[in-house]
Amino acid sequence: MLDLSSKEFSLTVYDSLSGLEHTLLYRQPTTAEYIETCNQISREENKEESANILIEAADKLITGFEKGSISVDGIEISSNPDDDNYYETWKKLIKENAERLLIELGTHVFIRTRSYVKKKNTTK
């Protein structure tokens, strides 16, 4: 069920490079962000540029990650400022070292969630 009062959503992504699952937290895009990004992707023929569009869009939406998902030098880090192991530049770290996670998030939000109309069988 879609909870329209929810301000944050989560997506669990399987990262084939690390062999691990990471749960990303993100906000819903505004209507303007959604339309703009979908239009940019649909007009872009270059796959690398499409990936860059997804990365930039997802970077604006990501609000954090689930505790225990990401570490640096074997030490668990957190995206929550209230945690002892809060890593202030966590967003930059993901963008520089795991853009693939942002691509997955962007794909989920802007490509896989597009609505469709299900045809009903009207013949009796």
Starting from the edge strand earliest in sequence, which strands make up the sheet with 62-65, in order?
9-15, 20-26, 62-65
Roughly how many angstroms between the first and final C-alpha of the chain, as a whole number? 31
Structure confidence by residue, pLDDT tens digits, 45-100: 888 999 999 999 999 999 999 998 899 999 999 999 999 999 999 999 999 999 99
For 21-46, the pLDDT digits (tens) are: 999 999 999 999 999 999 999 898 88
Every domain of the chain and the residues it spans: 9-110
CB 37 within 8 A of CB 110: yes
